[in-house]
Chain A
Amino acid sequence: KAGVTQTPRYLIKTRGQQVTLSCSPISGHRSVSWYQQTPGQGLQFLFEYFSETQRNKGNFPGRFSGRQFSNSRSEMNVSTLELGDSALYLCASSLGGQTKNIQYFGAGTRLSVL
């Protein structure tokens, strides 16, 4: 069974640009959650999608948005990039939701904003 796939693995952008990250969950998983990992801050929750609906949202500005498609694949978009957005962005999928089932993480997309 294929794991969670995140593309691209690495991205370099400049301030003010926008970026879209992609996540393909494990087949059959309907929940996709996104996290930001920065040094010293651990995993900070961005949002969770379940069956194409945003179920929960973390404390991030509106520049961070996401969506989920009918095949459960998810995308995350960050507009007007700032230097502080440089981080590892992780996607995790689970069967019924992050509080109900174990989450399986992808390897992440490392975003560098110059």
Chain B
Amino acid sequence: DQQVKQNSPSLSVQEGRISILNCDYTNSMFDYFLWYKKYPAEGPTFLISISSIKDKNEDGRFTVFLNKSAKHLSLHIVPSQPGDSAVYFCAASRRSNRDDKIIFGKGTRLHILP
């Protein structure tokens, strides 16, 4: 049973426009959500996170929105740049439980077009 779903395997966006990556989850007990970015031949790197007590978190060009009632979060990148081309993983966990584990989605490959 896939608890974290990224239904778009890939996404192409024009440089300078907004990139929106989506993620759905099924476990209402998740209280902490993260986005990681991965380039080829490198390990994933942390991008941004959000706690379930918030509905928005912003860091420069990156904003994550959380809709708890819909069990949905999205990552907005504005404006999109060529260096944003990468695979983006959504992840969720119960931060209140240290023995729990982080669940990752399958990833969305973002292509920024010139």
Residues of A bordering B, CB below 8 Å: 4, 33, 35, 40-45, 48, 55-56, 58, 90, 92, 96-100, 102-108
Contact = CB atoms under 8 A, between A and B. Distances in A.
Interface of B: 6, 9, 32, 34, 36, 41-46, 49, 89, 91, 93-95, 97-107
Contact of A98 (B43, B89, B102): B102
Contact of B32 (A43, A99, A104): A99
A107 B98 contact: no
Given A33-B102, A97-B98, A99-B98, 14 more contacts: A4-B43, A40-B9, A42-B89, A42-B104, A43-B107, A44-B104, A56-B101, A99-B94, A99-B95, A99-B97, A99-B101, A102-B34, A102-B49, A104-B45
A109 to B, nearest CB: 11
Given A96-B98, A98-B93, A45 B103 contact: yes
A54 to B, nearest CB: 11
A92 B98 CA distance: 16
A56 B100 contact: yes
Nearest to A4: B43
B100 A99 contact: yes
A42 B102 contact: no
A3 to B, nearest CB: 9
